Chain A
Amino acid sequence: MSLWVDKHRPKDLMKLDYHKEQAVRLKNLVQQSDFPHLLIYGPSGAGKKTRVMCLLRELYGSGVERLRQETMNFTTPSNKKIEIMTVSSNYHIEVNPTDVGIHDRVVIMDLVKNVAQTHQIDSNGQREFKVVILNEVDDLTKDAQHALRRTMEKYVATCRLILIANSISRVIPAIRSRCLTISVPAPTESEIASVLQLVCKKECLSLSNDLALRIAKSADRNLRRALLMCEACKVQQYPFTPDQKVPEPDWQTFIRETASMILSEQSPKKLCEVRQKLYELIIHGIPTETIFSGLLKELVRNCDMTLKCQVASYAARYEHRMRLGNKPIFHLEAFVAKFMAIYKKFMEESLGDMF
């Protein structure tokens, strides 16, 4: 019993549901004997990993689907033992280097070295190289990215890297230029809706177009989330009704509550409470950019146009800083404080106008 999102994941490049033209190109890419390092980027839930796995299957055959999980151990220069989970087949290995935080450099260097030094046992009819998949490359430390650049050149004969990122803005230019950069945009709402219809058909369920579109809308153009929502809808109520409740992720509810707290009162005391909420979100691992955009979306609901502009520009400013720095809470807090200040002023002025 597995989730729909895993069960119905396409395994062949030709069976992908959207970005079909890109799929053809990818197929052509691996038809030649060699391919360059890849940097695949796009928003979460757009299908980056699915495409990578399809590509590997095209390259090595169904052998890549025999996966095993392994924990690898590394020693940092400061003699600290770290371990990291990897998933690998005979042809590739996949890892999230950001799992080890600031020690990601060691993982990247050692892992790629290990893989690159072992040649394929049977190179007849197989490719001469192995593939290393690195997730969340944009979250790597600068140190690790620089290490990666050196590693990419050194072991290009025996291994290829596939880097996966949400955005390439934080990937250093040196890496961007060494890779073939492929963008995987998020699917449109109608594309998501048609995928949902398709999956439901395979599960022998009937899904109305209205509900499919509603799920697609609330999933924020994230196909993974849409499929999970759809399945959750199904277990909550079947047969589907067009106006049934679509469950939303609980952190979304949490952010909405936080936003309404901010709107209810603008005072240092309230800010203290908001800070606790933000702490909670952060330590549970909600990506801070999601917190930012979620808050912004909720906060500007009651604002007039000029205020909206102001708030959005401040949000952009603090979010940009947050991405450059390493202490997200400072910038989140500064944004909330800023909003409180300008919102309070706005409210006072509009109250003044009324009399």
Chain B
Amino acid sequence: MLKKHKTWFEPLFDFDESEPPPQKLKSDVNKQGTSSPAKFSKSNTIKPMIFNIIDQNHIRNFDPVNINDLAIHNKKVQEVEDWILGNIKKNTSEMLLLTGPVGCGKSVTVLTIAKKHNVKITEWITPIDIEFPNDNGEFEFKVKQSTQFLDFILNAANFTSLLDNNDRKLVLVEDFPNTFMRTPSELVYVLQQYKQRAKSPIVFICSESSTDKKTTSGNLFSDQLKNQLNIHHISFNGVSTTGLRSALKRMAEIISKKYKSMYNAPTSDLIECVVNSSAGDVRSAVTNLHFACLKGTDQSLETSIITEKDQKTKTKKKKPNSKFTSIGKDQSINILHGVGRVLNPRVVVDVNGRSQFTHSPREIVEQFISQPSSFVNFIEENYMPHFSNSAQIDRAASTLSDAVFMLAEWREKVCQEYGLYCAVAGLMLANKDPVSAWNPVRGPKNMKITYPVPSELQLLEENYLYKGKTLVSDYQTFCKIINSNYD
């Protein structure tokens, strides 16, 4: 163990000194228990006016303590918990893969469940693999990364730490060694070895983004591999607004109980703002709220809130949505939302009496500039039912024709943008009185042409090259007629 320890990566900046680096094979699930009371007592002893700057990892103060605190949907948590409980005692080398967007609480779910059931978690952290040469200018011989990884997870799975003698062990891999990204086949070998030799379950956590499907989970864990090694796959969704809201409310409670010296108590409006601006990412939501509530400035973030009034929600008497402009994530919208915004343009009249779109064409164009053709295809497939008037649909169709004509010029970068802008703005402007009916968005049609196969049409010459077009336009009909009457 010692020898191995030497090669581990020493973190250059560790925020939380109370938390031992996980590679020491020591449980870190107790950090909550140890750190929170300490902080609590500290903040009690010092004068309330002084901000506790020494307490470095503020965010950790709000980590969930038990399962009910999690912002994730109960059923998902239950699913993970069932899996862990079901496999922890059996001494088998079962595998679990957790996937989901960033900040949806994958890791924290595993950690919280482990803590509840007193399971010891050992996490792999990829060591740095470039070292400075020693005094003689030589580089030390290094073990192959995949070998190192396999050794680590096997040791973690099979040997119980002398310090706590807890045989309920779980191996966690969130930080994949980069050699596997290059050659996924190495991972297959490692996993097969693990399957045969290890005696503890292992959990893999992969985050995936909505825009880029070809990420770790897709790349490393192919369906074939999942079947072969019987890897259980649980995929998480982004945290729902209700979950996010309750998590932030809990945070507000903790603030009002323990950290009044550091934070202003967040109002519910503020929480609502944070929920709106964090797009299902609970981690960034907590950070944002932390930032928004910090004491020390007189000026509140209130001024940087933009209010967008929703015409539609008027009937439901919802509060206007507001969003931070300075912090929080950019809301990324998927293609279906984008199509919806183009096909149901909503016009509002602003204070100066000018009418304006709620979603400006520029905004939509910016979202989809990386995939102009497919976006225009989507619009084209779906625009018709939204129009009520044939003069307007004529304008729409002709702008689409303009747009696709520009998009065809793929060698000119700028044409792509103009084409998309033309389609989006043209359609939104043409649709003066949109039909407000529910129309499901359909994907673009596959326009692959299927020509008849010469062998299907009888009477044709055997060794003659027929063109698909002439087969369709000339031969097909008449061959049928001629053939039917000969029989």
Q: B482 touching A235 by the CB < 8 A rule?
A: yes
**B13 to chain A: which residues have CB within 8 Å?**
none
**A304 to chain B: which residues have CB within 8 Å?**
none
Q: A284 touching B450 by the CB < 8 A rule?
A: yes
Closest partner residue, chain B, to A282 (CB atom): B447
A125 within 8 A of B: no
B74 within 8 A of A: no
Which of these, B460, B465, B473, contacts A135 with CB under 8 Å?
Answer: B465
Min CB distance B386 to A, Å, is 8
Contacting residues of chain A (91-126) with chain B, CB-CB under 8 angstroms: 94-96, 99
The docked-state distance in angstroms from the alpha carbon of A266 to that of B387 is 13
Which of these, A266, A279, A290, A327, contacts B473 with CB under 8 Å?
Answer: A290
Q: A87 touching B464 by the CB < 8 A rule?
A: yes
Q: B462 touching A331 by the CB < 8 A rule?
A: no
The docked-state distance in angstroms from the alpha carbon of A47 to that of B192 is 66
A326 within 8 A of B: yes
**A136 to chain B: which residues have CB within 8 Å?**
467, 469
> Which one of A26-34, A187-195, A202-210, A245-253 is at the B interface?
A245-253
Contact A285:B401 (CB < 8 A) given known A95-B465, A267-B390, A337-B394: no
**A1 to chain B: which residues have CB within 8 Å?**
459, 486
**A232 to chain B: which residues have CB within 8 Å?**
477-478, 481-482
B contact patch SS: helix
The number of residues on chain A lying at the interface, defined by a beta carbon within 8 Å of a beta carbon of chain B, is: 64
B479 within 8 A of A: yes
A286 within 8 A of B: yes
Contact A228:B478 (CB < 8 A) given known A235-B486, A337-B397: yes
Contacting residues of chain A (197-248) with chain B, CB-CB under 8 angstroms: 222, 224-225, 228-229, 231-232, 235-236, 247-248
Contact A235:B385 (CB < 8 A) given known A85-B465, A290-B473: no
The docked-state distance in angstroms from the alpha carbon of A326 to that of B481 is 34
Min CB distance A166 to B, Å, is 9
Contact with A along B403-414 (1 / 0, CB 8 A): 011011000000
Q: B468 touching A96 by the CB < 8 A rule?
A: yes
Q: A266 touching B469 by the CB < 8 A rule?
A: no
- Of the candidates A2, A44, A96, A334, the one having the most CB atoms from chain B within 10 angstroms of its own CB is A334
Contact A326:B485 (CB < 8 A) given known A99-B468, A250-B477, A334-B400: no
Q: B478 touching A44 by the CB < 8 A rule?
A: no
Which of these, B384, B405, B407, B471, contacts A268 with CB under 8 Å?
Answer: B384
> Which one of A74-82, A176-184, A317-325 is at the B interface?
A317-325
Q: A2 touching B461 by the CB < 8 A rule?
A: yes
Contact A45:B394 (CB < 8 A) given known A3-B482, A272-B384: no
The docked-state distance in angstroms from the alpha carbon of A241 to that of B397 is 48
Q: How large is the interface on B (under 10, 10 to 19, 20 to 34, 35 or more residues)?
A: 35 or more
The docked-state distance in angstroms from the alpha carbon of A282 to that of B473 is 12
**B467 to chain A: which residues have CB within 8 Å?**
96, 135-136
The docked-state distance in angstroms from the alpha carbon of A99 to that of B469 is 10
Q: B451 touching A324 by the CB < 8 A rule?
A: no
Q: B486 touching A329 by the CB < 8 A rule?
A: no
**B459 to chain A: which residues have CB within 8 Å?**
1-3
**A45 to chain B: which residues have CB within 8 Å?**
470, 474
B398 within 8 A of A: yes
A171 within 8 A of B: no
B391 within 8 A of A: yes
Q: B390 touching A337 by the CB < 8 A rule?
A: yes
A-B contacts, 20 of them at CB < 8 A, read A2-B461, A3-B459, A6-B460, A44-B469, A45-B470, A136-B467, A222-B474, A228-B478, A232-B482, A248-B477, A249-B476, A249-B477, A283-B447, A285-B449, A287-B469, A333-B400, A334-B394, A334-B398, A337-B398, A340-B394
Task: Name A residues whose Cβ lies closer than 8 Å to a Cβ of B.
Answer: 1-3, 6, 44-45, 67-69, 85-87, 94-96, 99, 135-136, 222, 224-225, 228-229, 231-232, 235-236, 247-251, 266-268, 271-272, 275, 279, 282-287, 290, 318, 321, 324-327, 329-331, 333-334, 336-338, 340-341, 344-345
Q: Which 9 A-B pairs have the closest CB atoms?
A: A341-B394, A337-B397, A235-B485, A334-B401, A228-B478, A67-B463, A334-B397, A325-B408, A87-B465
9 new A-B contacts, CB < 8 A, other than A224-B470, A228-B474, A285-B451, are A3-B482, A224-B474, A235-B482, A286-B472, A330-B380, A331-B405, A338-B398, A340-B393, A341-B390
